[in-house]
Structure 1
Amino acid sequence: MKIGKVPTEVLREVVFKNIKHKRPEVLVRPGIGEDCAVVDFEENVCVMSTDPITGAVKDIGSLSIHISCNDVASNGVEPIGVMMTILAPVGTTKEDLDYVMKEANKAAASINVEIIGGHSEITDAVNRMVISTTAIGRQRKKDMVTSKGAKVGDAVIMTKHGGLEGAAIIAHDLEKVLKDKVTEETIKSAKAFGEEISVVKEGVLAGKIGVHGMHDVTEGGILGALWELAEASNLGIEVYEDKIPIRPETLEICKALSINPLRLISSGVMVMAVPQEKKNSLMEILETVGIKATEIGKITENEKIIVKGNSIQILEAPETDELYKVI
């Protein structure tokens, strides 16, 4: 298999197929496009998600906090705590670990989350640091939002701009490569995209307004996330490619490296299936807190398609993220 997330068909045939034992307390189980597990605690539910950071070097401590908290936020929940596992390669110094933990603590404080435990070790099983985090949130059962709740006719809204995490990672980790290909201002600006990685604010606001489904955009980019949003609900989607916002810096970096920004990892972006009667209210509220939101499609009954000008093409399932072609 290629580098990146395990392909969808392998998840179905090998991973999910072998998860056979069930408990009645589990309300949401593993599924394509499903961000979180949800466990019943009577009037409340516990919402949990876990994710590793493997594709970045710079700011790995900060990214590790935001990536799993973003998943919990896609259920409309404010994350409370994070469990953090650090696997560091031989040669890692005390100062290296200190830097990572300071960055993680700074990120956690920015979204009011506590690092509540975990594990750390030096091991020759990795050749660079790998951090896996599990975020935990609490929600009233009646307010549950999942990735699979989209309904036919829903507007599809995305926040911020596609490829923002990938552009930030590339600007940090491949700065020497980019210097001969793009301007210094482009690199500097793309690095700052890392400050937009959290989707906790928009996830919690959307949960309060009442959306049908949400999914944060990670590996596979905006097109991958849109496919997963529809697939989770066993529905179709019509995506208007020309309406997907991509910053000029991201376009410039992707053109220089011959990669597709629409398939580039995009933590910091949330896609939402929103009832038509609520979309304007949601977009207005997000704008008041400084979050750009754009309507980029609609949920349909069957086909997953991309509309660009007068052409229509099939929206394919996500494969290896574009980031792995250059990192």
Structure 2
Amino acid sequence: MKTGKLTNETLGRVVLNHIDQVRDDILVRPAVGEDCAAIEFGDLACVITTDPITGSNSNLGNLAVNVCVNDIASSGAVPAGLMLTVLCPEDTKTEAIEAILQDANRAASEIGVEIIGGHTELTSAVNRIIVSATAIGKVEKDKLIQTKGAVPGDYLYMTKVAGLEGTAIIASDKRQALLEVLSNKELSTAQEFFEQVSVLKEGLIGADIGVSAMHDATEGGVLGAIHELCTAGNVGCRLKSEKIKIHPVTQKICDHFHIDPLKLIASGSMIMAVNPERAGDLERAFKEAEVSFSKVGTITKEKEMRLYFGDPSIEEVFDVIPAPEADELYKVI
């Protein structure tokens, strides 16, 4: 198997197929594309998710908090608490652990979430620090949003730009290698993308507008997130490549390492499907909140997922979007 998340096919065969359904109060169960579980508590749903940070040596606390909370945001829920598990090699200094927790606490405080517990240990089982976070949120049961909610005719939107998290990680961990292709200003710009990896603002906007589905773009990048959203909803899509925004610095980094920015881990970008009648409200809300966005395509009844290039009224040139495999980040890090 390749480094990174299991492929969707393998996930279904060796993991999901072996999980029994035994309770009536589970609202959202594990499935391809569904990053959160939800449990019924009266009129409320408790939303839970978990994520490890394994692809970065930088900003571990910030990433652990925001990547995990982003999943809560994609369900339309308000995040409340976080638990962190920090596994460290046996020679780790206390200063390194303290720095990670300070970074995590700052990130959590900025978005109004509290770190409510966890576990920290030194162990020979790891060769570098691994931080895993579990986030808990709540939402009214009838306002819970699932990845599988997209329906044919919905517009597809993405916020910000492709490959945000991957760009920041590569710029930090491969800074010396990039000095030959990027200026110091460009490198700083790329590293500052760490400060844009939260999609909580977008998630709350989507919940307020009543979007059909949301999915934050993590491993597999923007195309991976869209593929998972469509797979979960048993639908297809038609995307316009020129509408998917890529920052020039991201493009330079990806060109240098010969990787695809649309398949690069992209925490900070939220993918949303919305009924056309609500699209105007969504765009106005994004503008008022100063969230950059782009309408990148539409959901189709036909299940094929197509990425179009150029003007389809002249000539239909497209690629079929494949199921996500190992993230492009692992070709570099």
1:313 counterpart residue number: 319
**Aligned-partner Cα distance in 2 for 1:159–1:22:** 37
| Per-residue Cα deviation, 1:245-273 (whole angstroms, up to 9, x for no partner) | 00001001111111110000000100000
**Aligned-partner Cα distance in 1 for 2:139–2:71:** 14
1:158 counterpart residue number: 158
| Per-residue Cα deviation, 1:201-224 (whole angstroms, up to 9, x for no partner) | 110111011000000000000000
**Aligned-partner Cα distance in 2 for 1:285–1:153:** 21
1:282 counterpart residue number: 282
Q: In structure 2, what residue type is equivalent to 1:311?
A: V
**SS class of match (1:324):** helix
2:134 counterpart residue number: 134
- How many residues matched? 327
**Aligned-partner Cα distance in 2 for 1:167–1:136:** 28
**Aligned-partner Cα distance in 2 for 1:282–1:223:** 22
**Aligned-partner Cα distance in 1 for 2:210–2:243:** 24
Specify every segment of 5 or more residues in structure 2 that has no aligned partner in the other structure, as ranges.
Answer: 311-315
**Aligned-partner Cα distance in 1 for 2:35–2:280:** 25
Normalization by structure 2: what TM-score? 0.97
**Aligned-partner Cα distance in 2 for 1:202–1:77:** 12
1:324 counterpart residue number: 330
2:296 counterpart residue number: 296
Residue 233 of structure 2 is aligned to residue 233 of structure 1: yes
Q: Tell me how far 1:182 sits from its aligned partner.
A: 2.0
**SS class of match (2:57):** coil
**Aligned-partner Cα distance in 1 for 2:263–2:83:** 29
* Segment drifting more, 225-234 vs 182-191: 182-191
Q: Tell me how far 1:277 sits from its aligned partner.
A: 1.0
Normalization by structure 1: what TM-score? 0.99
1:33 counterpart residue number: 33
**Aligned-partner Cα distance in 2 for 1:51–1:87:** 14
| Per-residue Cα deviation, 1:259-315 (whole angstroms, up to 9, x for no partner) | 110000000100000110111211121121111011001100121111112412211
Q: Tell me how far 1:142 sits from its aligned partner.
A: 1.3
**Aligned-partner Cα distance in 1 for 2:87–2:261:** 30
**Aligned-partner Cα distance in 2 for 1:291–1:14:** 39
Listed as ranges, the matches of 1:93-132 within 5 Å are 93-132=93-132
**Aligned-partner Cα distance in 1 for 2:48–2:179:** 40
Q: Tell me how far 1:22 sits from its aligned partner.
A: 2.2
**Is the 1:182–1:256 Cα contact (8 Å) retained in structure 2?**
no
Q: Over aligned residues, Cα RMSD in angstroms? A: 0.8
Residue 190 of structure 2 is aligned to residue 190 of structure 1: yes
Q: Tell me how far 1:21 sits from its aligned partner.
A: 4.2
**Aligned-partner Cα distance in 2 for 1:248–1:257:** 14
